[in-house]
């Protein structure tokens, strides 16, 4: 069984989906299950709403292949008032996917509430980073006698990524006791927080390992790759009680509901740092990759190909894609 990941990969520092799928591709390559040419593959793993036009054409031409849909979002929670994209994703899931993979229970629940239909085959698999990059090797040792170093990251400028909270920390954190770095793109300048532009994965991992605590206030984040990368580098975290954060963090950090709680939580972690660091417990890429493989194998062996696309279905989806692109152009 050969698997192709139908995704527009980039080597630039982009969003979490790109980073995770690159790591998953490496896993399949190592296990000799990956086929770079989708025509020669048995299974197509596609992501959310990426490359939809090409995907529809490919499904029409190769209806015998198995198509697995990795769901994100809901998108409407990130891009306010953009429920059209979610509706498009749900139609694609109905007409093209043989099975669905969600990244967290929170994501599955919220997508169900917005109308996605359950598939016969669906599962939840948490993300994992590239283990050769995001690991605890050469992690800076926490020294209680020195300033604790905090870090937050975000590739996106979107305010929902927690920037109001980071602004609060910029204005209220005791910088005689702490240092803080923000790595990524920010919609505004910081006065006290050190700002580093987006970095390639290997350089980002090095930055993470030079810090002690990870902070994320991102909202409606189904399975934050940034948080997962930091935890795999050995950083306990302080996270917003939203999205998939609680499912990821467990005992490897603390959860806040209001930004004013963060200062106390940071103090709690620095006072008992070893406890939180030792309780970071996440599946690595071997476990996550194996879960992907076993689920895909299950779907492939059952070969659930009874509900293939009709020509009418294809036209309906194509019309929705055109409408989506038209509305997107209007907004720009």
How does pLDDT run across 245-256, given as a tens digit for each residue?
A: 999 999 999 999
Task: Using alpha carbons, select from 90, 91, 125 the residue that is nearest to residue 110.
Answer: 90
Residue 153: enclosing H or E segment and its boundaries?
strand 148-154
Percentage of residues in the chain having pLDDT higher than 70:
89
Average pLDDT, integer, range 8-27 = 86
Which DSSP letter does residue 116 get? P
Q: Let me know: does 207 contact 247? Beta carbons within 8 Å.
A: no
Give whole-number Cα distances, 312 to 3, 225, 294, 319, in Å: 28, 38, 33, 11
Residue 317: predicted pLDDT: 63
- Which of 15-24, 32-41, 50-59: highest mean pLDDT? 32-41
pLDDT tens by residue, 216-246: 999 999 999 999 999 999 999 999 999 999 9
In angstroms, the CA 292 to CA 125 distance is 7
CATH of region 148-278: 3.40.50.2000
Is it the case that residue 13 has pLDDT exceeding 70?
Answer: no
Is 322 a residue whose pLDDT tops 70?
Answer: no
Report, as an integer, the average pLDDT of 28-50.
Answer: 95
Tokens of 260: 């004013």
The answer to whether the CB of 295 falls within 8 A of the CB of 102 is no
- Peptide linkage before 288 cis (omega within 30 of 0): no
Query: Sorting pLDDT into bands at 50, 70 and 90, what band is 48?
Result: confident
Spatial distance between the Cα atoms of 130 and 24, rounded to a whole number of angstroms = 8
* pLDDT at 75 (0 to 100): 86
Model pLDDT for residues 94-146, shown as the tens digit of each residue: 989 999 999 999 999 999 999 999 999 999 999 999 999 999 999 999 999 99
Asked if 78 contacts 42 with a C-beta cutoff of 8 angstroms, the reply is no
Q: Which residues contact 313 (CB under 8 A, 6 or more apart)?
A: 95
Q: What's CA 85's distance to the chain center, in Å?
A: 18
Residue 323 scores a pLDDT above 80: no
Topology alike, domains 3-128+285-331 and 148-278: yes
Evaluate whether the domain defined by 3-128+285-331 bears CATH number 3.40.50.720. Answer: no
Task: Write down the domain spans for the chain.
Answer: 3-128+285-331, 148-278
Interatomic CA distance for residues 291 and 251, integer angstroms: 23
List pLDDT tens digits, range 173-220: 999 999 999 999 999 999 999 999 999 999 999 999 999 999 999 999
CA distance 116 to 194: 41
DSSP states along 208-252: HHT-SEEEE--SS-SS-HHHHHHHHTT--EEEESSTTHHHHHTTS
For the whole prediction, is pTM greater than 0.75?
yes
Average pLDDT along the chain: 90
Q: Is the pLDDT of residue 308 over 70?
A: no
CB 126 within 8 A of CB 101: no
Q: How confident is the model at residue 17 (pLDDT cuts 50, 70, 90)?
A: confident
Contact between residue 184 and residue 158 where contact means Cβ atoms under 8 Å apart: no
With cut-offs at 50, 70 and 90, classify the pLDDT of residue 321: low
CB 244 within 8 A of CB 223: yes
* φ/ψ of residue 100, rounded to 5: -130, 140
Q: Are 293 and 31 in contact (CB under 8 A)?
A: yes
CA distance 221 to 78: 8
Query: Within 13 Å, how many C-alpha atoms sit on residue 191's CB side?
Result: 9
Yes or no: say if 73 and 93 are a contact pair by the CB < 8 Å rule.
no
H or E element: which one contains 151? strand 148-154
d(CA 261, CA 255): 9
Beta carbons within 10 angstroms of residue 298's beta carbon: 12
Q: CA–CA separation, 15 vs 251, rounded Å?
A: 26
Is the Cβ–Cβ distance between 33 and 2 less than 8 Å? yes
Using pLDDT thresholds of 50, 70 and 90, give the confidence band for residue 330: very low
Q: At what angle do helices 285-302 and 16-30 cross, to 10 degrees?
A: 80
């Amino acid at each position: 069984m050969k698997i192709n990941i139908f995704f527009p990969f980039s080597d630039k520092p982009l969003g979490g989906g790109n980073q995770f799928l690159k790591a998953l591709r490496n896993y399949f390559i190592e296990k000799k299950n990956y086929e770079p040419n989708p025509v020669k593959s048995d299974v197509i793993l596609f992501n959310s709403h990426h490359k939809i036009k090409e995907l529809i054409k490919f499904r029409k031409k190769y209806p015998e292949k198995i198509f697995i849909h990795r769901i994100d979002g809901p998108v409407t929670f990130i891009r306010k008032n953009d429920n059209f994209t979610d509706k498009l994703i749900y139609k694609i899931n109905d007409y093209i996917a043989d099975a669905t993979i969600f990244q967290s229970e929170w994501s599955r629940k919220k997508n169900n509430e917005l109308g996605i239909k359950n598939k016969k085959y669906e599962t939840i698999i948490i993300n994992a980073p590239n283990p050769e990059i995001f690991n605890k090797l050469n992690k800076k040792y926490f020294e209680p006698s020195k300033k604790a170093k905090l870090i937050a990251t975000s590739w996106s400028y979107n305010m929902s990524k927690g920037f109001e909270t980071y602004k609060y920390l910029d204005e209220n954190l005791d910088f005689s006791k702490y240092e803080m770095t923000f790595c990524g793109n920010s919609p505004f300048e910081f006065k006290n927080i050190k700002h580093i532009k987006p970095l390639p994965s290997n350089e980002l991992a090095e930055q993470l390992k030079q810090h002690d605590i990870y902070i994320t206030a991102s909202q409606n984040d189904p399975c934050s790759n940034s948080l997962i990368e930091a935890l795999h580098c050995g950083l306990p975290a302080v996270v917003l009680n939203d999205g998939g954060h609680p499912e990821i963090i467990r005992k490897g950090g603390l959860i806040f509901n209001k930004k004013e709680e963060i200062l106390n939580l940071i103090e709690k972690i620095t006072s008992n740092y070893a406890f939180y660091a030792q309780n970071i417990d996440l599946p690595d890429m071997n476990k996550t990759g194996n879960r992907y493989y076993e689920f895909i194998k299950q779907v492939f062996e059952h070969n659930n190909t009874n509900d293939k696309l009709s020509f009418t279905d294809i036209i309906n989806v194509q019309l929705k894609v055109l409408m989506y692109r038209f509305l997107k152009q209007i907004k720009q």
